[in-house]
A and B are shown apart, each in its own frame.
Chain A
Amino acid sequence: MTCLSKEFADFIQQGVAAAASSCNAELLPSMARVVACRVAADQRITILLSRNLNPVFIQDALTQQKIAVVFCLPSSERAIQIKGGAIRQESVLPTDWVLVQQHEQDFADQITPKGYPREFATIYHHIVESNLYALSFVANGVFEQTPGPQAGQCLV
């Protein structure tokens, strides 16, 4: 298990663009858009996503127990990738939908200076509350993902 610093925990809970990936036994990758995330006191990371739009990814992640999630802050292009395992489904908490909506507003704040209307954030997330799905994992590596020659460098 990798200990996630407060800096990284704060970073991934901002208005970042985020996407998760796994793969199946035939080594075919799958991916899902992440609409919010939370970090528990025990360092377990929970990502929130749409269940009905990402069935292949959810099955791959739960079956293969391997996951990678990239987080990118649009305003700075800074990005990190967290890899992990010990994946399991979590109950969607009553506060999770609020978290998703807050993330959507934070994301809108990030992209409007780039010329996008705020509604683009809603479209980009493309999630309804009834489809919200929570998947948690334990990090085993944090990697630099900001574009440049240092991308891929292990940070933790």
Chain B
Amino acid sequence: MSTVNLDPLRNCFEGAVPGPLATCDLDGIPNISYLSQVQYVDREHIALTFQFFNKTRRNVLANPNAQLGVVDPETGNSYRLNVHYLRTETSGPLFESMKAKLAGIASHTGMAGIFKLMGADVYRVSAVEPVGTGIPRESTRINNLPILRKLTQQLNQCADLSALLDSTLNSLRKDFGISHAMILMLDESGQRLYTVASSGYAESGIGSEIPLGAGVIGVAARERTAIRISHMNAEYAYNAAIRDNSVAHGFDLETAIPLPGIAESRSQLAVPIANGSCLYGVIYVEAEQDLRFSYDDEDALMTLANHLAMLMQQFAVSAEMANEATSVSQVATPQGKPVRVRHFGGDHSIFLDDDYLIKGVAGAIFWRLVQEYTQSARDSFSNRELRLDPSLALPELGDNLEARLLLLQRRLAERQACVQMQKTGRGRFRLNVNRPLLPQAEP
């Protein structure tokens, strides 16, 4: 087993203090330059940014041996690392993660538009030499392991997706001290994510959307990797990214519901909720301070997201398997002024009188429920019948119907609509209607 272990040095790789990289050419002419980013890869490997074909790059291609200086920004502890260039990656999770982080550093140092990642140069570290010691300082970091232990036990007790998401956000706020968080799910097309739960924002943003590949959230989803930015960042500001990406790809994106976000987001972390090749969504957290989220936080949220993915898969399967007969009872007709439920077939957008509610798959589902309610006087439904309904054209397996229903339920609750959805069992729910409904199919 190698004696090199970079784990205790991870704080050095936050991009806070530029580190010098010393190389030399085949004639023994030394070269030294400061680096904006050193990325921890694993216990024995780091990656450096390849931005320009400069002298450093020419040197390492000719002579792969180099020496790197790094500093812990909290303690001032300094280290020299003997490194050996191995390869350059120009795509994939490592590349995307470094690209996002570099954009953050560029913005922080006023170099936006100058730093552009061409590749992630991976080096093996053969030796680590402490260079003096800084000041011993008590770490103010929270120990995430006991929190994760408690949280995963809590999550295992959750009966449905709604409880799962609420418990997660609650723990992020109370235990991890993360004030602003949201959870987004991948839609049926696999091309966009929609917000299904959030915490700490003036507006919940439930139902808001972001395209795959846009901003920190979209890149984390597309690449199935954690994206963490420690400094304020214009390039990855997701509202701008959404706008640009949507225009570029001609997306019919949800624009009536704005994505939540804090105005001065200086630290951002997005982790994919994925199980194997199956992506469910993204957990996103942000803060107003620089360097708020560490490598340890990234590890903790990735572990949490992996656990969530496993439970989401279980919920999806069990909800689909639940096949109890739905009650077909005559429901009492509510009193009061009727509400027009207006459905626009083009994008399945729904308005209650003139108030926008939702669109897309959730809109189509709601329209189907309202029609069934008014025509057949039914108020109880199952996930399974929606799945099998040809008018909804839902995929047979593998989508997130449960999440769509949760989104619909939360939008109705948030809007204090005259129709509310109440879960009545695994894979079953009821409509509680307190005013007469008048369905109107709009052109």
Contact = CB atoms under 8 A, between A and B. Distances in A.
B32 A21 contact: yes
Contacts of A148: 52, 111, 114
A39 to B, nearest CB: 19
B309 to A, nearest CB: 36
Most chain B beta-carbon neighbours within 10 Å: one of A31, A77, A116: A31
A77 B23 contact: no
B195 to A, nearest CB: 32
Given A29-B66, A124-B71, A66 B34 contact: no
A14 interface: no
Contacts of A23: 22, 24, 28, 30
Given A77-B110, A124-B76, A27 B28 contact: yes
B22 A30 contact: yes
B63 A27 contact: yes
Nearest to B131: A53
B99 to A, nearest CB: 16
A147 B111 contact: yes
A27 B22 contact: no
B30 A33 contact: no
Interface stretch (A1-9, A67-75, A101-109): A67-75
Contact of A27 (B34, B52, B65, B114): B65
Given A29-B24, A145-B34, A152-B54, A77 B132 contact: no
Nearest to A131: B132
Contacts of B114: 147-149
Contact of A68 (B26, B31, B135): B31
Interface string B4-28: 0000000000000110101110101
Interface string B30-67: 11111010000000000000011011000000010111
Given A27-B24, A31-B32, A151-B52, 8 more contacts: A17-B18, A21-B24, A31-B20, A68-B22, A124-B76, A126-B76, A126-B134, A145-B34
Interface of B: 17-18, 20, 22-24, 26, 28-34, 36, 51-52, 54-55, 63, 65-67, 69, 71, 73, 75-76, 78, 80, 82, 109-111, 114-115, 131-132, 134-135, 290
Q: Give me the 4 closest cross-chain CB pairs, A-B, nearest first.
A: A123-B76, A21-B22, A19-B20, A126-B132
B71 A21 contact: no
A20 B32 contact: yes
Contact of B54 (A33, A69, A72, A151): A151
Nearest to B29: A66
Contacts of B66: 29
Interface in A111-156: 115-116, 119-120, 123-124, 126, 143, 145, 147-149, 151-152
A21 B73 CA distance: 22
9 contacts: A25-B28, A31-B80, A50-B132, A66-B24, A67-B30, A77-B110, A126-B76, A147-B51, A149-B114
Contacts of B80: 31
A18 to B, nearest CB: 9
Nearest to B65: A28
B52 A21 contact: no
Contacts of A25: 28
Contacts of B34: 17, 19, 70, 72, 79, 145
Interface string A9-44: 000000001011111010111110100000000000
A123 B134 contact: yes
B293 to A, nearest CB: 16
Contacts of B52: 148-149, 151-152
B48 to A, nearest CB: 13
A29 B76 contact: no
A77 B109 contact: yes
A141 B221 CA distance: 47
A81 interface: yes
A59 interface: no
A147 B115 contact: yes
A35 to B, nearest CB: 11
